[in-house]
Each structure stands twice: as C-alpha cells, then as structure tokens.
Amino acid sequence: MYEIRTQAFFSAAHHLLNYEGECENQHGHNWMVEAFVTGNVLNKSNILIDYKVLKKELNTVLETLDHKDINELPEFRGESPSSEMIAEYIYSKLKEKIVQLSKITVWETQTSCCSYFEED
C-alpha cells in the first residue's frame, strides 16, 4: 500500500455556534490542509497520483473557503463551522475529483488539527 500527502493553505474567518468561550466570537485562522491518497496500483511512471493533479484539485476546493467568512457560505449556514465540519466539507468536495482520497487533515494552528476519513 502506498500513501502520498500534499499540503495547501487558506485563510478564513469563522465563529462557533452553541459554544461558550472565546471561539463564539468571530476570529480567523491561517489554515493548513493535508490531503492523503492511498492505493496499491502505480501508473506507468510508477506513481500513485501526480502531485500536480492533487494540488490543483485541492486548491480548487480551498478557493471556495479562502478569505471568506465560513459562517456565511451556503454549505455552513446555520451550522457551527468547526474544524471537524471543515475537514468533512473539503473531503467530500475533493473526493468527487480524487477517488483514491483517503483522508483530509485540517490544521487550525500549528498544534491543533482534525482529520476526516470514511470508515471501510
């Protein structure tokens, strides 16, 4: 089994709903996102997936979030846009283009992250 990973970044604001604490106030993050792809079959160049393809598709998804108030996006309206929900959103959008996608990890800070993946 092979696994590759790439990283991309976006900046956005959000605030958590139904939360008691500082994060209920609007604030921003410089998010780092990691996309993981796994598989057993390599192509004729002996690669699982071209990093350029994975990065392009990931960046296309992140453009929908970059420099936005995530709470105002239709996909999150009325929902608390936690790291968990953002990871799931990115996963579902990227999975439409990259079928071998296995996991998305979203970093709010250098020490705090959340991963989303589907159970087998």
Locate tokens 């959000």: which residue?
Answer: 14
How confident is the prediction for the chain on average, in pLDDT? 97
3 has catalytic annotation: no
Look at residues 92, 80, 76, 88 and name the one whose alpha carbon lies nearest to residue 114.
Answer: 88
Q: What is the pLDDT of residues 70-96, one digit of tens each?
A: 999 999 999 999 999 999 999 999 999
Q: Residue type at 69?
A: D
Of 14, 29, 57, 108, which is the active-site residue? 108
Which residues sit opposite 37 in a β-bridge? 4, 101
What does the CA dihedral 7, 67, 114, 54 come to, rounded to 10 degrees?
Answer: -30
67 has catalytic annotation: yes
**What pLDDT was estimated at residue 28?**
96
Q: What's the rounded mean pLDDT across residues 10-30?
A: 96
Domain assignment of residue 103, given as a range: 2-116
For residue 83, the domain's CATH number is: 3.30.479.10
pLDDT at 120 over 80: no
108 has catalytic annotation: yes
The count of structural domains within the chain is 1
* Local confidence band at 18 (pLDDT 50, 70, 90 cut-offs): very high
Of 3, 67, 79, 84, which is the active-site residue? 67
